[in-house]
Structure 1
């Protein structure tokens, strides 16, 4: 071999250099392994000492203390106050696409820091299952709906009560007959294939109430309004419901969550604005899920005269609807009388066959996956844990598991274990996943439970006095840095019924402060040990007292 100058290179010198190089590499690898293992061992020692220090110091750290506080009463005209859907603030927003009916939470300086009173004459709600058919008039004193809907048999007032005969605009023979026809059109309603449903424009939730007896759990959805209070009637009856509207923003549910969606003359303009409302139904329906529509333009051939329209207009509306549904990969599944059923495609074949310029376009897969994961072991551990917790809770609150508690909320759930452990009790549970926590809500729906996303620094989408029991575990530990605890407890007081309970499972650090705030909102509380005992975590059992407003001044 020659170098660049043409001179020969001594090959004997190359061998020792190569050997030295290999030896150095081996030595380097050995030293790396040696010191790496030492570092791991050192890190393990440090970690163990840190954990030990935390355990030692956690018992010595004093709990959070705050000054005694009290909150004034709101005036009586706040009895149905819904802070984020307040009709008094509608004038700030336009009516385009119903934007004024969406959530518009007031800024911090406009928040009310007062206790929402019940109506004069309020009584403890009628117990389940009797409550499905009747409720106290003074608890939801809305005469307008009784006067305007009396011919449709939504409800009727007799003495001190409202009665719910199961009627509706599209239920002339009662909701039972209506659902019987649906079952004939959709056999999957009978075999457990359909477990969760959503009713858009729910009326007084008679449809959802009937489905309970058929093993289908329904979320009844309607916007806040000045007169009808549909969601409040539903919850007073002991039926799952939430304030919401199909408008500019997505509904607070994950993709692919419901087995069936229903609209019974809900007056939603499905084909307007490029079909955006049907796009939202498509998003929340599972593959193979069903969309049920009754009312215009279904059965227009017979019904058009009663709709103040023409047969040509209704025929055109039906054709537009069918064209839009086809473009969304829905197929007409069945149709009879006033009911039509479409099924969302079960697989991706339809979507793959769509042209690039097809409307509406396919979403980018990166936009929203609504993904959540959990191993079989984590579910098993979660179920086992919550069964033990519920057994303990029933010792602390004997009413839990009886007809005295019907509407329940788990305010910061993970997999819905609390709700699953109550599945055999006469309750339904609204599972709430924090907007700032891992997205596990799809898992909850996969388990056949219901729930919603929510940020507890804002008011929940419901009327006052709608839940018998509120449960939270570790909410303040996780999110107390985001807003003051008093706002969360004031909201809990708003949505909790008089004589209702709150179970607050928290780090001992927060218990004294929470007890102080609870006293300021007129709750009676007591501290209890957890199942394991110890001082790191405690349970605060609180009961809301019934009181009536002494302030009659209007806002």
Structure 2
């Protein structure tokens, strides 16, 4: 298994329980939240019509987004690299009565046939963590039907130039936006967690090179009255810096 995949599979398996305890209420059991700002697909409509569509969720975690899609009449498949996250998905299925078929898989090698889906989506799933986003985009293009859509959210690239701190320290840049050295945590020589950085220009170039069309970019503003803190995301930083980038991509008809 690739270094990035192995590290992040291990990290998420070890931290899934704490993650769901800390963020489960904010995410809901069957709500499609695009990021820490709280932008909800029910109001944003970035995917377009989902009823009677075949939809794939990449990096689903506990499949909260996929469960909302099921509630709207979509036919959903979902996957995550973390077995422990998928156990939480099964737990919420039982509690909510809404079931999402899930499988453990790596986003760089999708276990689905070509042309299987009308829509592919990912809310902070996989894209910040994969070493080869071009491989993921090529796989998405392969499984999308002509005229389909891929929408994904990830940490806004400008955040890379600032400390991951929700307080005043997080407002002063301390590194180059153009430094693409991955952020890695280690236990001795073993990588235990890793994130990869791509500029906005990098992402657009990767999307176009994959054969997808770049159709839109959404940078959610921090809403008034939202007082929550999620890692480096906070009201203080959110009113000054974009925290999330949502890329809307289309497959050629």
TM range (shorter): 0.5 to 0.7
Which residue of 194, 198, 217 corresponds with 1:335? 217
Determine the C-alpha separation between the residues in 2 that align with 1:222 and 1:316: 22
**Structure having the larger proportion of residues in strand:** 2
- The 1:204/1:155 distance shift into structure 2, 3 A limit, reads farther
Cα contact 1:154–1:165 (8 A) shared by 2: no
The one-character-per-residue Cα deviations of 1:342-394 (angstroms, maximum 9, x if unpaired) are 10111xxxxxxxxxxxxxxxxxxxxxxxxxxxxxxxxxxxxxxxxxxxxxxxx
Is 1:199 equivalent to 2:64 in the alignment? no
- The 1:322/1:206 distance shift into structure 2, 3 A limit, reads same
Cα contact 2:32–2:40 (8 A) shared by 1: no
Is 1:152 equivalent to 2:23 in the alignment? yes
Q: What is the correspondence of 1:222-233 to structure 2 with a 5 Å cutoff? A: 222-226=80-84, 229-233=87-91
- The 1:304/1:256 distance shift into structure 2, 3 A limit, reads farther
Determine the C-alpha separation between the residues in 2 that align with 1:302 and 1:247: 23
Determine the C-alpha separation between the residues in 1 that align with 2:144 and 2:116: 6
Structure 2 residues not aligned, in runs of 5+: 166-174, 181-196, 221-243
Which residue of 144, 148, 155 corresponds with 1:296? 155
Query: 1:96 Cα shift?
Result: 3.5
- The 1:170/1:269 distance shift into structure 2, 3 A limit, reads closer
Cα contact 1:292–1:340 (8 A) shared by 2: yes
- Paired residues in the alignment total 198
- The 1:196/1:307 distance shift into structure 2, 3 A limit, reads farther
Q: Tell me, what secondary structure is at the counterpart of 2:65?
A: helix
Bigger Rg over Cα: 1
Query: 1:303 Cα shift?
Result: 8.3
Determine the C-alpha separation between the residues in 2 that align with 1:180 and 1:253: 27
**Structure having the larger proportion of residues in helix:** 1
- The 1:216/1:304 distance shift into structure 2, 3 A limit, reads farther
Q: Tell me, what secondary structure is at the counterpart of 1:295?
A: strand
Determine the C-alpha separation between the residues in 2 that align with 1:99 and 1:312: 26
Q: Tell me, what secondary structure is at the counterpart of 1:326?
A: helix
Q: Tell me, what secondary structure is at the counterpart of 1:266?
A: coil
Q: What is the correspondence of 1:2-401 to structure 2 with a 5 Å cutoff? A: 94-96=1-3, 98=5, 145-154=16-25, 164=29, 166=31, 170=35, 172-173=37-38, 178-183=40-45, 185-186=46-47, 188-189=48-49, 195-226=53-84, 229-236=87-94, 237=96, 238-246=98-106, 250-268=109-127, 272-273=131-132, 275-297=134-156, 300-301=157-158, 305=162, 307=164, 311-313=177-179, 316-336=198-218, 337=220, 338=244, 339-346=246-253
Determine the C-alpha separation between the residues in 2 that align with 1:229 and 1:270: 21
- The 1:306/1:286 distance shift into structure 2, 3 A limit, reads farther
Higher relative contact order (CA 8 A, sep 6+): 2
> TM (normalized to structure 2)?
0.61
Q: Tell me, what secondary structure is at the counterpart of 2:83?
A: coil
Q: Tell me, what secondary structure is at the counterpart of 1:267?
A: coil
Structure 1 residues not aligned, in runs of 5+: 1-93, 103-141, 157-162, 347-555
Determine the C-alpha separation between the residues in 1 that align with 2:205 and 2:4: 22
Determine the C-alpha separation between the residues in 2 that align with 1:182 and 1:247: 25
Cα contact 2:30–2:65 (8 A) shared by 1: no
Q: How large is the RMSD of aligned CA atoms in angstroms?
A: 3.9
Query: 1:311 Cα shift?
Result: 3.6
- The 1:341/1:303 distance shift into structure 2, 3 A limit, reads farther
